[in-house]
Amino acid sequence: MLDSLFTENIEDILDQIDEGIHIVDAKGRIIYYNKFASDLDNINPEEAIGRHILEIYPSLTPETSTILKVIKTGKPILNNQQTFKNYRGLEITTINATVPIKSGRKIIGAVEVSKDITEVKKLSEKLVDLQAELLIDHNKKIKQAEGMRAVYTFADIIGISDLMLKLKKDALSVSASPSPVMIYGDTGTGKELLVHAIHNASTRRNKPFIAQNCAALPETLLESILFGTVKGSFTGAETRPGLFELANEGTLFLDEINSMPLQLQAKLLRVIQDGNVRRIGDTKVTHVDVRIMTAINIDPRQALADKCIRDDLFYRLSVISLKMPALKERYEDVPVLLKHFIDKYSTLLGKNVKGISSEVEAFFMSYAWPGNVRELEHAVEGAMNMADGTLITDSHLPYYLADISKKDKRRIQKNAIGPLNHTISKVEHLIIKKALRLTEGNITKAAELLEVPRQTLQYKIAKYNINVDAEK
């Protein structure tokens, strides 16, 4: 009784299940399809029943069809994930369990139960994407937080030379102004340090400070980073503000401005002139109040001549022009910088270095420092890693500096030697003066002391133009 109730109603029962059910016979012909399966596959059961499975699913082959495989092998295939396109062209992903139907030992067919995981898959992928985005956003926020703060002040700029004292004084006096500042200086002279210090001495100190290197990004990316984008303005574009908007009320530092492509320089000029920023692909503009500071590491006159920077932009940006002097123009700063870096790295490296040997000092005071303060700092850091006592000596210097130092020393020694007759004359001159001093200017007694004839001494006194009276 129960048995017939079940068989009579089995189709209705199976149609209530939220899983697709296909049943095929031993020849691979479809003999049953439940409602869920027909919805999933977008196939009308009336059309499918009685037809071969490969006819209904042309994308399948005898090798890829789990049903045909199970009929062939008699072994169940469980937890098998499949992605296919249904007749509506939708991509469907299912997890299937395919088991053989046997009559005794004979395989008479197979049943496949498919769980639709299309939505779950989509959602989990989205979750992964969101997590990745969150991570990127999080990193961006940290980066931005770092990049949005100016950390150095004028106190961090070490230097006692007249050049540096004047520069600091000038920079301090223009700090409060909203006028653009352009800093020119060789690599490693401390341009970035100065920009930070100016921002921190200005009324904008609690507002954003954003630095962007113009040489670091390709033109289109730099443009969208600076001005922002709206979704759909180009493939993959999202709605996000640019650095101009982020730096509102603060300072935007554009480093290596001479590396910015000329076309972008024209766009930059427009934004600076009226303070209106339009995100790429947007119709509306936002007014911003941003102080622009720029750095340029080649001579601005050269940059203009080489057309690395547009004239109009240059004049606009260099309203206040400051020059960071090279280290070789201010050797007076070397000892104070040395002390500063020795103290810094003693703490950092846990060393007890107190100073440098006189040879190293002589070398540091004559070396050209092409990498400027950065090179000096790293030379000290490198030497301090090597140093085991309280003094930095030649042997602690990085090899390239040690080599130059050795050559330098030889050169100095060579200069000190000079031609032999010249040296002999110098010594002779000194000894004659000494003898005259000892004999209170008495030429006869001096000649005796020197064991030379009086006449010879007189001749040499005349030759060296010695004032006998002055030696009395």
Positions touching ligand ATP (CB under 6 A) are 157-159, 185, 187-193, 297, 373-374, 377
111: nearest Cα among 196, 26, 173: 26
Name the DSSP letter for residue 325: P
Residues paired with residue 370 on neighbouring β-strands, in sequence order: none
CA atoms within 13 A on the CB side of 213: 7
Give me the least distance between CB of 183 and ligand ATP, in Å please.
8
Q: Please choose which of ligand ATP, Mg ion, none residue 116 contacts, taking the beta carbon within 5 to 8 angstroms, the exact cut-off set by kind.
A: none
Q: Which is nearer to ligand ATP, 189 or 405 (CB)?
A: 189
Q: Please choose which of ligand ATP, Mg ion, none residue 242 contacts, taking the beta carbon within 5 to 8 angstroms, the exact cut-off set by kind.
A: none
Give me the least distance between CB of 326 and ligand ATP, in Å please.
10
Q: Which is nearer to ligand ATP, 190 or 242 (CB)?
A: 190
Separation CA 196–CA 221 (nearest Å): 25
Beta strands in 249-360 (DSSP E): 251-255, 276-278, 285-287, 291-296, 320-324, 355-356
Separation CA 235–CA 153 (nearest Å): 42
Give me the least distance between CB of 185 and ligand ATP, in Å please.
5
Give me the least distance between CB of 255 and Mg ion, in Å please.
5
Torsion angle in degrees (nearest 10) through CA of 211, 215, 217, 222: 60
Give me the least distance between CB of 191 and Mg ion, in Å please.
5
Burial 439-461 (b: 16+ CB within 10 A, else e): beeebeebbebbebeeeebeebb
Give me the least distance between CB of 192 and Mg ion, in Å please.
4
Is position 471 an interface residue for Mg ion (rule: CB under 5 A)? no
Q: Please choose which of Mg ion, ligand ATP, none residue 171 contacts, taking the beta carbon within 5 to 8 angstroms, the exact cut-off set by kind.
A: none
Q: Please choose which of ligand ATP, Mg ion, none residue 157 contacts, taking the beta carbon within 5 to 8 angstroms, the exact cut-off set by kind.
A: ligand ATP
439: nearest Cα among 450, 453, 428: 450
Q: Which is nearer to ligand ATP, 48 or 327 (CB)?
A: 327
Structure tokens at 335: 């000892």
Which residues, 177 to 196, sit near Mg ion by CB under 5 A? 192
Q: Which is nearer to ligand ATP, 20 or 190 (CB)?
A: 190
Positions touching Mg ion (CB under 5 A) are: 192
